[in-house]
Structure 1
Amino acid sequence: MASSSRAQFSSKFGFIMAAAGSAVGLGNVWGFPTQAASNGGAVFLLVYLVMVVVLALPMLIAELTIGRYGQANPLRSVKRIWPTNSKIPAGFGLLGLLTALMILSFYSIIAGWLVGYLVSPILDFIGFHSAATWLEAFSTERNLVLALIFIAITMKVVMGGVTDGIESWSSRLMPVLVGLFVVMIGYILLQDGAMDGLKMYLVPDASHFSADLVVGAMGQAFFSLSLGVTVMMVYGSYLPKDVNIPKTATQVAMIDTGIAFGAGLLILPAMFVAQKNGVVIYDDVGNLLNSDTLVFTVLPAMFDTMGSVGVIVSILFFALMLIAALTSSISMLEVPVSCAMEELGQTRKKAVMWIGGLALLLAAAIVFNFGTLFGLVITVSTVYLQPILGLVWAICAGWVWHRAKLLDEIRQGNPEVEHSLFWKIWPNYLRYVCPVLMGLVFWVTI
């Protein structure tokens, strides 16, 4: 096993904030509300909540348990549960590492846009109109500069280490994120038109229910908890042995789901406020317009109709989005950094510098070939690799790992777990049900 000097989260609260921060990203505050708005609102919300329980949570427990048992990076952790000396587990671990790096590269471009939209109204307010326009106008130079800024911020946090970097910043940023959500939701719900969005979001209309909606909600629940890309294995490896993993995983899932719910509570009413102010959000047949760029088109247009107060609301909104993006990006960078430190014997600073530089090079390649690579990298990493890896980890925990050793690891933070309802259900559920559900997610997404 790893040495006793291996970094650990200093508190349960710190871990929950870090893990929830990793899970809470643009998939929650952008992807979930957009999917909800495109799929009937309340019906999608209800199915999503069910899918968090039946797919995402069991998988989260599995990844955290593998990571804590291995007490190492994903390459070593997966190898330690493998019964034979094989290169297969290291190969899957390496694939997870590469997927995290691919996601970080395109994520930094999108997050860079958030930086631009955050700073732009401030510059516009103080008279730097051309700079403000440049920050919001799509261009190769702007995309590259803003991606560089975002990756640099991410590198700065990860360079601080597990306790002083990831845990410290997550413990600060997550409460700020929640506070911003409360303020923004409170403000938006007081605007004209907000109640129409609230009704769509909270009052179910069964006519929107479909098999595609179910699988879409399943995929959203899986992706929103950063599953498949070995992030939760890395964070699990920093967990003390006395932590009750099922209980802690449930708390992480609840926070993540709460943020997604809050994002819907903010974005859907905001869309209808925008509509009330003359912004077109649905086409003639009821399909959501600009779903891919909702936060960069519909909402800024709404902020522009609010006058001077719109500047404040815009800054708060994009600050919220940027915090969500940052708490996810630091976990994506930590995956390859942890591997470089343990497999190559590098210092954290050196690993962060060259891996962050590599992520920037990948982002630059996408920026210079945006039309070809942007959608392709997103599709390969999130539509293909992430579900495949999720399926692999379900099989590893359910079929490859010896049941007695799995129980021993879970028991360390919960001595009575063997006699609980959880243990009677979860191992077989992980073995038989989760792979089928993951297979469905993969099948439908392709």
Structure 2
Amino acid sequence: MEQAGYHNAHAAFARQVNLHGRQTHGLTLRYDAASVYWWLRGRRPDSPAPQLIAEVLARRLGRQLIAVDLGFQHAEDLSGLGLTFDSDLDDARSTVTELWRRQRLRHEFLATAPFVAAATTQAGWRWHFDPRDANVSHRGTRQVTEADVETLRAYEQQFLELDRRHGGGHSRDLLIGWLVRDVQPLLNGAYSDRIGRQLFAAVAELTGQVAYMSYDVGEHGLAQRHFIQALRLAKAGDHSGFGAHILANLSTQAVYLQQPAEAVRLSRAAVDGGRGKAGSGIMARLYAAEACAHAIAADPRSCTAALRNAERAASRASDGDHPAWAGYFTPAHLAGAAVRCFRDLGRTNEALSFADQALDLGRSSIRTRALHTALIASVHASGSAADPEQACHLGRQALDLAGGVTSRRVADRIADLAQRMKRFGGNPAIDSFLHRAATAVSPA
């Protein structure tokens, strides 16, 4: 208080807290000089006042603060933050904005938070079976319009492009800062039920993008928390196709974490949730996720059936079936899923039959090209008819591509390739690749 110049201006400080609460949360607060008197003597105001007080002081001091810094409370237990699919929409708004804010402050726990499988299962169940939100309108200071929602979607397209070109670690902090600064006031603004559903759908997509970026850089607990909140916002926005897409992303994350049973459950929930509600292009992506889940579960029959369903859905897709958040999923991505599936099933010849198509990617898909190149190389390094020279050639290409992206998934896929290549050591070219891979990426 002294550093901020409020030592002898308690009433002025209380007015700033009231104003900040009205502008950012649509709250009507009536704190006064007496309130500040008691705060300074240890009384803790109700939430979100500690956060508002910290933000008012932080703005004045030019540095970041949280409620713990002000002595209101001991270090908080954040282990459950973001893991719940809140029934009450006000709680959901508070949860997602608090998750953004904590991530912006780089809270150490969130970067290392564990993946909690039970929380994902519960969120998927709630998304399917909870009743529709009857009314999502909100009273606040700032009036939210369709133009505001269109602005969010324009920004979303920019962040999607940056992510696909440079990897999740490139612009995630920029996205989080923008969500806290510009999107949180919209969520807490004034809007009708119709505009509110559009707003929640758009913010669900942006939150899902944060989740995918976090997954891409290997922060799986944080990614899971954002995926769950994106699912809740999609529910409020009547955004069924995107909700199914989020479940498929959670399945893909479970595949990455080698949790086959969880991956299968989530992928089936995604397909069930999208059927009859999502376009053919989105259904192709959902079936592809299901195929990958069945592959790591060692279920070839279900895997090949899901791939056939994906191919049929893709053949029926039109341009209108690919919204911005699903626009990445092309025939090359479906082919990449087939390569992955048949490799995991030990059917290398079938995997390689999709290799050329899996590399038929647009120029901006740098991360996917790196992932697919390393994946195809791993097929050449597998089985009794392995081709280590081709695996080495593709491995060098993957390393070249990896230098342009910030992605834990790319690094791990190259590390996996290097592990498979070790049995061919003794060849100068292969030894050179292994040395380069060891210095370029961390071990898987």
**Same fold flag (TM > 0.5):** no
Q: TM-score, normalised by structure 1?
A: 0.21
Which fold has the larger relative contact order, with Cα–Cα distance below 8 Å and residues 6 or more apart in sequence? 1
| Larger proportion of helix | 1
Larger radius of gyration: 2
Q: TM-score, normalised by structure 2?
A: 0.21
